[in-house]
């Protein structure tokens, strides 16, 4: 440039540049730059995103994959441009189905969710690529595609059938949460009644068959007793695709320290989630109170319109607290402290949550979380493990376990009746 800056002005500019930046703004940018650079070199693998269900339930065009155009800005937390901004390297798309649908059959809805997720992946071949193995994740990352994996949410989907489990593996499922929010015939859920005090014998057989297939056993949503039983029986690393630390927020969906302490031996990964009520004790307490209030109103007021109005009034005078990015970082640090840096990952639950932590509003914000950890002194090595190296290691171990087991073990044909004595107990009753 030929523009001459008067001497005095140039000195002032120099002085300004040398002065410490106000409120650490400069260090923030430096940490963010650092985070962005790091996430270009190692895939960020997110454990849980509910986009397929958001598409199914979309108000404008339910189940219409093309209408829910990821090339434009969506009303949800996820689209292609924000994923690129958030430097998402791989995504486990949740193929969730509610455990509460009893009459229409789980298989139909589960298959439809596979179909939606696989059509989303196929629709954007320049941006997404189906991934079935850890190698696939790394290959897609190198080609600049978001490696897209499928994770089943809720063992109710297999309807007590190991044959169904195997078929879902063949359709691409690479993890399954043993339960969702409903306790099953073979496993207790975190948010439902205790029926078995963990896993039944058939539940253990489900874990063994998942090991043989190479499907990751996902312990998000199960009760601590189920977590413990699964850790006893599994021969491969487990994951928690979207859970946080119970020591920090006493929510039943979180992982207790006693379980975190078992992860080094198992090799598993807790993918810390952003769900506000799981990372903020204030939000958890508010939600519990709101639920109580809602129930009390339902008992006291017969009319449903009045019920709604009364509840809205209560909420207006009891505003919901907000979780923060710092609280998510606290959870990540707690898991690292108790389980170790080899056992922590990230599982946002974007598009599966109504509210988000301040600072983690959508999929574009992941680098901000890494910047926060960089400011807290995390090493590049630990940050890479958190981003995805831990998940890759666990997945490779699960694949190796499957290869080993398939040499000696046939597909299990055991039934829940054989293993848990359902039916035999009925005839026993008749005799008594
Ligand atoms: Zn969930």
CA of 270 to the centre of ligand 1 (A): 14
CA of 153 to the centre of ligand 1 (A): 7
CA of 109 to the centre of ligand 1 (A): 17
Answer whether 70's CB lies under 8 Å from 88's CB.
Answer: no
Residues 6+ apart with CB under 8 A from 328: 244, 272, 274, 279, 357, 360, 369
Query: Does the pLDDT of residue 427 top 50, yes or no?
Result: no
- Give me the percent of the chain exceeding a pLDDT of 70: 90
Q: What is the pLDDT of residue 265?
A: 98
For 222, the 3-state DSSP assignment is: strand
What's the pLDDT band for 101 if we cut at 50, 70, 90?
confident
CA of 14 to the centre of ligand 1 (A): 53
CA of 221 to the centre of ligand 1 (A): 7
Strand partners, 153: 96, 177
State how far Cα 414 lies from the chain centre.
Answer: 30
DSSP strand E in 14-87: where?
Answer: 44-49
Query: Does the pLDDT of residue 8 top 50, yes or no?
Result: no
Give me the mean pLDDT over the 1-12 stretch.
44
Separation between Cα atoms, residue 423 and residue 425, nearest integer Å: 5
DSSP 245: B
CA of 407 to the centre of ligand 1 (A): 34
The closest of 212, 182, 214, 237 to 391, measured between CA atoms, is 237
Q: What is the pLDDT of residues 201-247, one digit of tens each?
A: 999 999 999 999 999 999 999 999 999 999 999 999 999 999 999 99
CA of 424 to the centre of ligand 1 (A): 34
What's the pLDDT band for 27 if we cut at 50, 70, 90?
low
CA of 275 to the centre of ligand 1 (A): 9
Q: What is the pLDDT of residue 105?
A: 83
Give me the mean pLDDT over the 30-55 stretch.
98
CB atoms within 10 A of CB 71: 11
Answer whether 399's CB lies under 8 Å from 133's CB.
Answer: yes
Contacts of residues 390-393 at CB distance under 8 Å and 24 or more positions apart, as own/partner, are 390/269, 390/342, 390/343, 390/344, 390/345, 391/45, 391/47, 391/239, 391/269, 391/271, 391/345, 392/43, 392/45, 392/134, 392/137, 392/138, 393/237, 393/267, 393/342
Q: What is the pLDDT of residues 281-305, one digit of tens each?
A: 999 999 999 999 999 999 999 999 9
Query: Does the pLDDT of residue 14 top 70, yes or no?
Result: no
CA of 181 to the centre of ligand 1 (A): 8
CA dihedral 382, 383, 387, 392 (to 10 degrees): -30
CA of 222 to the centre of ligand 1 (A): 10
CA of 420 to the centre of ligand 1 (A): 27
Give me the mean pLDDT over the 93-116 stretch.
89
Average pLDDT, the chain: 92
Phi and psi based region of residue 110 (left: phi greater than 0; alpha: psi -120 to 50; beta: remaining): alpha
* 44 phi, psi to nearest 5 deg: -85, 120
The closest of 166, 156, 50 to 102, measured between CA atoms, is 156
Separation between Cα atoms, residue 127 and residue 124, nearest integer Å: 5
CA of 400 to the centre of ligand 1 (A): 27
Full-model pTM: 0.91
Q: What is the pLDDT of residues 314-360, one digit of tens each?
A: 999 999 999 999 999 999 999 999 999 999 999 999 999 999 999 99
Q: What burial class does residue 69 get, using C-beta atoms within 10 Å of its C-beta: 0-12 exposed, 13-18 middle, 19+ buried?
A: middle
Catalytic residues: 48, 50, 153, 180, 221, 242, 349
Separation between Cα atoms, residue 202 and residue 384, nearest integer Å: 37
The closest of 262, 246, 272, 179 to 219, measured between CA atoms, is 179
């Amino acid at each position: 440039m030929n523009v001459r800056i008067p001497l005095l002005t140039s000195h002032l500019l120099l002085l300004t540049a040398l002065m410490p930046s106000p409120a650490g703004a400069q260090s923030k940018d430096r940490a963010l730059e650092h985070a962005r650079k790091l996430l270009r070199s190692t895939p960020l693998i997110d454990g849980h995103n509910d986009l397929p269900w958001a598409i199914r339930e979309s108000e404008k065009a339910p189940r219409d994959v093309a209408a829910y155009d990821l090339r434009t800005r969506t009303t949800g937390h996820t689209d292609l441009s924000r994923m690129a901004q958030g430097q998402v390297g791989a995504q486990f798309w949740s193929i969730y189905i509610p455990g509460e649908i009893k009459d229409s059959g789980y298989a139909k809805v589960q298959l439809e969710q596979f179909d939606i997720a696989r059509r989303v992946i196929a629709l954007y071949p320049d941006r997404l690529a189906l991934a079935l193995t850890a190698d696939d994740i790394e290959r897609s990352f190198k080609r600049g595609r978001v490696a897209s994996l499928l994770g089943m949410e809720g063992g109710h989907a297999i309807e007590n059938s190991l044959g169904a489990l195997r078929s879902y593996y063949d359709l691409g499922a690479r993890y399954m949460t043993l339960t969702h929010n409903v306790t099953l015939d073979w496993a207790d859920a975190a948010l439902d009644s205790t029926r078995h005090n963990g896993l039944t014998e058939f539940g253990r057989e489900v874990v063994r068959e998942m090991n043989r297939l190479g499907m990751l056993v996902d312990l998000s949503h199960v009760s601590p007793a189920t977590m413990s039983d699964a850790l006893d029986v599994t021969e491969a690393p487990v994951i928690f695709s979207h859970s946080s630390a119970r020591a920090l927020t006493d929510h039943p969906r979180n992982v207790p320290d006693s379980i975190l302490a078992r992860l080094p031996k198992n090799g598993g990964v807790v993918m810390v989630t952003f769900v506000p009520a799981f990372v903020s004790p204030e939000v958890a307490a508010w939600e519990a109170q709101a639920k109580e209030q809602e129930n009390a109103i339902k008992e006291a007021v017969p009319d449903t319109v009045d019920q709604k109005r009364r509840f809205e009034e209560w909420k207006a005078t009891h505003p919901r607290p907000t979780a923060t990015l710092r609280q998510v970082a606290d959870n990540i640090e707690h898991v690292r402290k108790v389980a170790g840096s080899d056992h922590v990952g990230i599982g946002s639950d974007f598009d599966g949550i109504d509210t988000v932590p301040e600072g983690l509003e959508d999929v574009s914000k992941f680098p901000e979380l890494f910047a926060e950890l960089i400011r807290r002194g995390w090493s590049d090595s630990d940050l890479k493990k958190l981003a995805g190296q831990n998940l890759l290691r666990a997945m490779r171990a699960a694949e190796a376990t499957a290869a080993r087991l398939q040499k000696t073990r046939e597909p299990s044909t055991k039934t829940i009746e054989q293993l848990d004595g359902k039916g035999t107990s009925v005839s026993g009753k008749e005799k008594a």
